[in-house]
Amino acid sequence: MKSAPFEYRRPASLAEALQILDQHGDDARPLAGGQSLIPLLAMRLAQPAMIVDLGRLPELRGIRRDGSEIAIGAMTTQAQLQRLPLPGILAAALPHVGHFQIRSRGTVGGSLAHMDPAAEWPALAVLLDAELELAATSGRRLLRAADFALGPMTSAIEPNELLVSIRLSGAEGPFGFLEVERRPGDFALVGAACHRGRLVAFATGAIAQRLTRCEALLREDGSPGDLRALAEAEIEATGDVHASAGYRRRVGAALVQRAVEAAA
């Protein structure tokens, strides 16, 4: 299929892009790497009247480091990021974000805005307690990852806003990051990650899920067997054509246990 007709704009600054979004509201849709949006357009699952190409916005590019803090511009591609020295957990997770071709076009901001329940970035953001910087013509706001992720394919970005950057603090240190995928580069069937005593399961349900009961058990030095049993109970799994909810709970619990062991 071909996409429905749309008007195409390629603003040269963030201010110009935000003005366009302000004028056109729900009718306009930002375009980043296009790895998710272009297929949606081609299948006519999205039919915006206007596409706003973010490819020329200098304000959304670049990576800034200040000690253990990293601010990653929303238009940074996964491949650009992979070429840098990174905290171990990011270096371990990035190769799982699709195939090389997808990582060379797909952006960190696009992954977060798209909010696929099986995607790595929304899970990393919750695990690392990231802050997301959003901009509108009226000003900027910062949201914690837990408040940014609202549901499957749904983030807190308003139609007149753009995600500008993701800010990570203290992402260094021991970690566990594991996922099961049918073939390398496929979306995860189920995944789990552990960092600094925080635990997240992803590709299990509607949204990357922080496992706070399991975290409490870790603080009490619970046994691996108890952790696995609790994880199986705590993971809120859904089933689909790729895997049943039971599979996701069982395999997810095993991954949680292994992620904790790796982080230790």
**Helical ranges in the chain per DSSP H:** 14-24, 37-42, 78-82, 88-93, 100-105, 108-114, 120-127, 145-148, 212-219, 224-234, 245-263
* SS3 state of residue 256: helix
Nearer to ligand FAD, 227 or 259 (CB): 259
Compute, in degrees rounded to 10, the torsion defined by CA atoms 206, 212, 213, 217: 140
How big is the site for ligand FAD, counted in residues (CB under 6 A)? 30
Q: How far is the CB of 99 from ligand FAD (least distance, A)?
A: 6
Cα dihedral 147/149/155/161 (nearest 10): 40
205 binds ligand FAD (CB under 6 A): no
256 makes contact with ligand FAD (CB under 6 A): no
Provide φ and ψ at 5, rounded to 5°: -60, 145
CB of 211 to ligand FAD, least distance (A): 20
Residue 109 binds to ligand FAD (criterion: CB under 6 A): yes
Among 11, 30, 191, 252, binds ligand FAD (CB under 6 A): 30
Q: How far is the CB of 44 from ligand FAD (least distance, A)?
A: 15
Which residues lie near ligand FAD (CB under 6 A)? Answer: 29-37, 54, 74, 96-98, 102, 106-107, 109-111, 113-114, 116, 119-121, 157, 162-163, 187
